[in-house]
Structure 1
Amino acid sequence: MPPDAPDLPSLRETIARHGLDARKALGQHFLLDPAVCARIAGLAGDLSGRHVIEVGPGPGGLTRALLASPAAQVVAVELDRRAVAALAELEAAYPGRLRVIEADALRIDAAALLPAPRRIIANLPYNVASPLLVGWLRGAAAIEGMTLMFQQEVAERICAAPDTPAYGRLAVLAQWRCRCELLLRLPPGAFSPPPKVWSAVVGFTPHAEDPGGALFAAMERTTAAAFGQRRKMLRGALKSLGDAAALLEAAGIDGARRAETLTVAEFDRLARLVAARGAG
C-alpha cells in the first residue's frame, strides 16, 4: 500500500503560484476535483505493483490520485515547462515513486520509460489524443492496459460498431488491437477551464495476439485507403493498394460495399493480404 499522503498545497494554489493557466494551444483542460481524479484512477483497476505512465499531467490532479493508489511507480510526461516546475514539488514529496519527464509524448517510446507491467492512465491533451493513441496501439504488446480521457466524440468513435456514423479508421485500429470500453462520461464543468464539449474515459485491454509491426503498418494503410474515400465503394477506395478487385476477391468481400460496413475481422483479412503482398 502507498504511504500516507504528504501535506501538499491545493491544486489551485499550485496553479496560481506557477502561473499555470490552461493553454488552448496545448489542448489543456485540468481536472482539479480530487473525487473525480480518484474515480478515474479507480477505473484502471488494481494498480498494485504496476508502473504507470501519465501524459499531460498539468498541475497534477490525476497524478496525486495515482500516487494515492498502490501503483509501484508513476512516470509523468509533460511538455509544458510551467507544469514541470509545479510537479517538481510533488516529485519531491514522493521520492522514488514519481518521476517527471519534460518531453513531447509523441516523440518518446512509452514502454522504454519503465518496467513491466505497464499501464497508461491519462487525461489526454485534446489536440494530440488521436495520434498518441495510434502510437500506443502500435506498441500495445508492451502495455498491460490503458485508461484514457478523450473528447466524448472521439471516445464514441473509438468504441463505435460497424455500420454506424461514428465507425471509422480509429474504431478499427483500436478494436483490432484492444477490447475497448467506454467507462465514464464527464460534463464540461468537471474541468478547468470547462471545454465546450463533454469528455469520456475509455478503457483499453490489449488482445493477446501481437500482430507485429509489418501487419500493423498494413492495417494502417488499409484503413487509411478504405476510409479516406468512405463514400466510394471498396473496389474504388482501395485502388491505391494495388489490384483492388483481386484483393477483395481473395478476402471474400463484395467490392460494392463501403468501408463502414466492414467488421474488424474483415479488415483483418484485408490487412493480412496487403501485408503478404508487401512481403512477396
Structure 2
Amino acid sequence: MPAPVPAFDPHALPPLRDVIARFELGAKKSLGQNFLLDLNLTGRIARSAGPMKGVSIIEVGPGPGGLTRALLTTDAPKVIAIERDRRFIEALQDVVDAAGGRLSIVEADALTVDPETLAPAPRAIVANLPYNVATPLLLGWLARIDAYVSLTLMFQREVADRLVAEPGSKAYGRLSVITQWRSDARVLFNLPPRAFTPPPKVESTVVHLTPRANPEPADWKTLEKVTAAAFGQRRKMLRQSLKSLGNAEALLEEVGIAPTARAEEIDVAGFAALARAHRAREALAGEATPPA
C-alpha cells in the first residue's frame, strides 16, 4: 500500500511577489512569461485537473512557482517541473525543500524533453503554458496522448477556441481536427488579463484533454498532410485545395465527400477517411514503382 502523501501548505512559504522581488524575476517576453500569482486561481487549476492519487504530475514553465505550490496540495505523489529559465531554479528551492521530496525541477527546454522519461505511468501534465510554444508542445503530447491520464493546459483563448471548435465555425481548422481526433477536449474556464503579472493582451483559457477511447483509424503524418492541404486554402472547394494530393476528385468520391465542399465543413471522421484513402493510394503507387 503506497505511503500517504504528506500535507503541503502553500501559505507557509514566502508570498510569490516577495519571491519575484527577492530574485529580481522580471517576466521575459521572449519566453512568453506571464505569472499567475493568485493562489485561489492556481488552486482552481490544480483541482480542475481531477483526482491525482497515484498520478505523477508534470508541469511546464513553473516560473516563480504559483501553480507548482497548488499542484503539491493535490494527492499526486510526485510533481516534476520543467523550467528552461535558470533564474527560477534557485527561486524554487524553498518550494523543493518544503515539498518533502515530492518536487523535482528539471532544467530543460520542454520542446526537447520527452515527459514520459521523467515519470512513470500513470502521469498527467498540468501547465500554464508559455504562449509562444503552446501549440507545438500540445501537438507533441497529442501524438502520444495515450501515455497520459490527462492534459490540463492554459492557452490564449483564441487557441483554446480552436481546439474545441466544431465544423462550420470560423475557428475550426487543422488544430481542431488533430486535437479532436486524438482527444476529448473541453473548456473549463477563462481568466482575464488582470489575473497575470504582467497582464497579457488577451484572455486565457484552461482546457482539459483526455485520450479519446476509440479514435478514427488514421496515420498521423498523412492526416497532417491532408489537413494542411485542405485548410491551407480553406476558402476554396476541396477539389481545388486537395490537388496537391493527386486526383482530388477521385479521392473525395472514394470517401463520399462532395468535391464542392470546403475544409471547414468536414468533420474529424471525414478527414480521417481522406487520410486513410490517400495513404492507401500512396502505398499502391509505391508498389507499382519499379526498383531503380
* TM-score by shorter chain over 0.5: yes
Residue ranges of structure 1 left out of the alignment (5+ in a row): none
- Residue equivalent to 1:263: 267
Q: How do residues 113-152 of structure 1 correspond to structure 2 at under 5 angstroms?
A: 113-152=118-157
1:179-215 deviations in Å (ceiling 9; x for gaps) = 1101011111111111111110011011124679x71
Tell me the residue number matched to 2:45.
40
CA distances 1:205-241 after superposition (whole Å, capped 9, x unpaired): 11124679x7111111111111111111111111222
CA contact 1:182–1:201 (8 Å) conserved in 2: yes
For the residue of structure 1 that corresponds to 2:236, the secondary structure is coil
Distance 1:144 1:247 in 2: 36
Structure 1 residue 4, shift from structure 2 partner: 2.9
Question: Helix, strand or coil: the match of 1:150?
Answer: strand
User: Of the candidates 259, 262, 272, which is equivalent to residue 276 of structure 2?
Assistant: 272
Q: Which AA in structure 2 matches 1:78?
A: E
Q: Percent identity?
A: 56
> 1:5 is matched with which residue: 8, 21, 24?
8
Number of the residue aligned with 2:58: 53
Q: Which amino acid aligns with 1:146?
A: L
Partner Cα separation in structure 2 for residue 210 and residue 254 of structure 1: 24
1:187 to 184, 192, 196: 192
Give, as a single letter, the amino acid of the residue that structure 2 aligns with 1:4: A
1:42 maps to amino acid: R
Q: How far apart are the structure 1 equivalents of 2:276 and 2:100?
A: 47
- TM superposition shift of 1:30: 0.6
What is the rounded CA distance, in whole Å, between the counterparts of 2:216 and 2:168 in structure 1? 25
Q: Report the RMSD for the aligned CA atoms in angstroms.
A: 1.5
Are residue 158 (structure 1) and residue 179 (structure 2) matched? no
Stretches of 4+ moved more than 6 A in 1? none
For 1:83, the aligned partner's letter is F
| CA displacement 1:126-153 (0-9 Å, x = unmatched) | 1111111111111112111111000111
Which of 187-196 and 233-242 deviates more?
Answer: 233-242
Equivalent residues in 2 for 1:107-256 (5 A)? 107-209=112-214, 215-256=219-260
3-state SS of 1:147 partner: strand
Aligned letter for 1:43? S
Matched to 1:23, the amino acid is K
**TM-score, normalised with respect to structure 2:** 0.91
Q: Where does structure 2 lack aligned partners over 5 or more consecutive residues?
A: 285-292
User: 2 CA distance for matches of 1:199 and 1:185?
Assistant: 6
The TM-score, its normalising length taken from structure 1, stands at 0.95
Q: Kindly tell me: are residues 75 and 171 of structure 1, through their superposed partners in 2, closer, same or farther at Cα, counting changes over 3 Å?
A: same
User: What SS is found at the alignment partner of 1:231?
Assistant: coil
- Once the two structures are superposed, what CA deviation does each residue of 1:17-73 show, in whole Å capped at 9, x if it has no partner? 221111111111111000100000111111111111111111110000000110111
Distance 1:16 1:250 in 2: 63
Pick closer, same or farther for the CA change 1:79–1:235 going to 2, 3 Å. same
